[in-house]
Amino acid sequence: MSLCTCQGESFLVSDSPARRRWLLATVGLGGAMTLTAIVPFVSSLLPSERAKAAGAPVEVDIDKIAPGEMIVVEWRGKPVWILHRTPAMLEALKKAEPNLVDPGSEVAQQPDYATNEHRSRKPEYLVAVGICTHLGCSPAKAFDSGDKALGADWAGGFLCPCHGSTFDFAGRVFKDKPAPINLEVPPHTYLTDSRLIIGSDQRGQA
């Protein structure tokens, strides 16, 4: 009998050549199988390229969004609105304040730089996650003032079709509605006057 060390373990191995070959092959195969099992497990812990791309910042060309128009882009699997507000829409924000739950955006649903009456970096652009803060439906555009379904005093904004929550042109929720808080404003910044990036700001990627 002789002592054999393999994979950090010591074994007594028969001096028989056939017996020795069998034992060494068995130990080697066990080590290989363990390594094979570990590699897929470790790989499963790493984010896939698709997952990393889904969470990455989104760059948008806003140059062709005319005043009064809105586009929707996807960021982290969520719809993000980019609304080019008109002067009339901005004026409607002031008129809406007495009827809002949180006109001063005291609940932290936006970055610090968007804690203002228009809830954005630039007054003319709203950047907001288009998901109702009640049960997660996506509100629809209700831009026309005086809409019969919403009342003569309706100044325009957004209407959730699921349970009737209404939001102004800054994504602030009106009183006496199911939604408890304003819409979320994601981190964003402007690379140029015509290029917007969502999911990143001066402080880095969200």
Would you name the residues annotated as active-site residues?
163
Whether the CB-CB separation of 163 and 176 falls below 8 Å is answered with no
Token pair for 186: 């994601």
Using CB atoms within 10 A of its CB, is residue 66 exposed (0-12), middle (13-18) or buried (19+)?
exposed
Q: What angle do CA 61, 138, 181 make, to 5 degrees?
A: 100
d(CA 182, CA 98): 15
d(CA 154, CA 112): 29
d(CA 151, CA 166): 12
Whether the CB-CB separation of 117 and 161 falls below 8 Å is answered with no
Q: What is the DSSP letter of 44?
A: H
